[in-house]
Structure 1
Amino acid sequence: MFIVMSLGGSILAGDLDSARFKTYAEAILKISEKHKLLLVVGGGVFARRYIETARGNGADEVMCDFIGIDVTRINAKLLISALGKAAYPEVPTNYNEAAVAAESGKIIVMGGVIPGQTTDAVSAALSEYLGADLFLIPTSVDGIYSADPNTDKTAVKYKTLTGSDLVKMSGETSLKAGSKSPIDPIACKMIERSGIRTIVLDGRDPKTLLKIIEGEEKGPQAECDGTIITP
């Protein structure tokens, strides 16, 4: 399979612990033994801190986006350092560079691309552009809920959603630089139009990621530990 993954900065680089990067790198290397991989890394808490500082200085949202993009690319370089020679050595800065890098046969790791697009949106666009078989979104929760499960005890987890359901749910999501949401509206619309099988899962433990991919290797599963988004 060709797998594109939107790897949240909060679960990979939340505390800039090298051991965390190495643990994730081990899982990614294991997946790459059987599958072609392209990963887009988010900015996480540090991107949001830089963005908040920039806003305090009077920066507009486009400038804040550029700052966030820079942080995602630094996080991507840190993951490349943990992956070693198995990774493509450079961080692609646009979609065409990513397409060229994908021909190398190595693991591709990149960050943001342009203002106004989260790394989820970049990943979704790449999934469609490069013809991925599976799009994975590891986050800090175990799927998509009817409300924030950290603050609402009545929140219900969805085992499956259609692309159109996802778009409807994303309608009130903020598009400000550094916004924190399950999946942003642009990414949701791209997932809907591409019809690529998408799974939102708990990425805090890489073992969950391995388990879901092992299940997908046997064929598309009816359900899993995350939320499956279908056409």
Structure 2
Amino acid sequence: MAEPIYRRVVIKLSGEYFAGSHSFGMDQPTIDRIAGDLIAARQLGVEVAVVVGGGNLVRGVEISSRGVSRPVGDTMGMLATVMNCLALEAALERKGQPARTLSAFVMPEVCELYTRSTAFRYLAEGRIILLGGGTGNPFFTTDTTAVLRAAEIGAQAVLKATNVDGVYNADPKKDPSAKRFERLTHSQALEGGYKVMDATAFALARETSLPIIVFSIAEPGSVGAILRGMGRGTVVAG
């Protein structure tokens, strides 16, 4: 088996994916399958941190469009990410993999507060760390959170797990002729306006020289394949 090309990564998971085939909520078989993929990645000797969205439970922008202020709506969305982290932590622990949820919010009865030193300690212990609560501030997405946390903990890459196998020049679900890019620079991703990640995340990745690998989480084993440089996806770097 090929050795992993990264030794510490942040994996960004979409909250919507936690709903499985449903439009809302948590689908336990899907969460269990994701947990299995993360454990396989950890067994390669890779230190794994995970940032999870909250769109399967609450989307702050949508809440705000109904009359709630954007800061309040975004806070609700950030709390939803903590719920997803706790669900994933439980799935990992059931499978025998030590994990720990760390939140950008102070909520001691629920989970620990995220700090760099705490993250480093748990990674060194072999735990998978689950980073909830976004950045702790409204107006920032969990994509930006993933890049920010990766820069803070010295990760070598951000793995953006989606429903498509990379970045395309058009929506491949709507346009059969859409072209998938093997590689893009951060500047090309920004200038192209590709929606797979928000502009702030791409800009921060460029500033911190962090590669982003966009791939599909739909296939079991996809995380491990990407870590070994064998998976199908788009590398955004340089």
**TM-score, shorter chain, exceeding 0.5:** yes
What does residue range 1-231 of structure 1 map to in structure 2 within 5 Å?
1-14=7-20, 15=22, 16-33=26-43, 34-48=45-59, 52-53=62-63, 55-56=65-66, 58-84=67-93, 86-93=97-104, 97-102=114-119, 103-104=121-122, 105=125, 106-111=127-132, 112-113=134-135, 114-170=137-193, 181-215=195-229, 224-231=231-238
The separation in 1 between residues aligned to 2:79 and 2:68, in whole angstroms, is 15
Q: After TM superposition, what 4+ stretches of structure 1 lie above 6 angstroms from structure 2? A: none
Q: CA deviation at 1:30?
A: 1.7
Aligned length: 212
TM-score for both structures, normalised by structure 1: 0.83
Secondary structure of the structure 2 residue equivalent to 1:91: strand
Query: In 2, are the aligned partners of 1:42 and 1:119 still within 8 Å (CA)?
Result: yes
Higher share of residues assigned helix: 1
Q: Deviations over 1:109-129 (max 9, x none)?
A: 022222111111001011111
The separation in 2 between residues aligned to 1:55 and 1:82, in whole angstroms, is 33
What is the CA RMSD across the aligned residues, in angstroms? Answer: 2.1
TM-score for both structures, normalised by structure 2: 0.81
Alignment-mate amino acid for residue 65 of structure 2:
R
The separation in 2 between residues aligned to 1:154 and 1:189, in whole angstroms, is 28
Query: In 1, are the aligned partners of 2:75 and 2:138 still within 8 Å (CA)?
Result: yes
Alignment-mate amino acid for residue 225 of structure 2:
K
Query: In 2, are the aligned partners of 1:124 and 1:191 still within 8 Å (CA)?
Result: yes
Q: CA deviation at 1:227?
A: 0.4
1:177 alignment partner in structure 2: none
Q: Which runs of 5+ in 2 are unaligned?
A: 1-6, 106-112
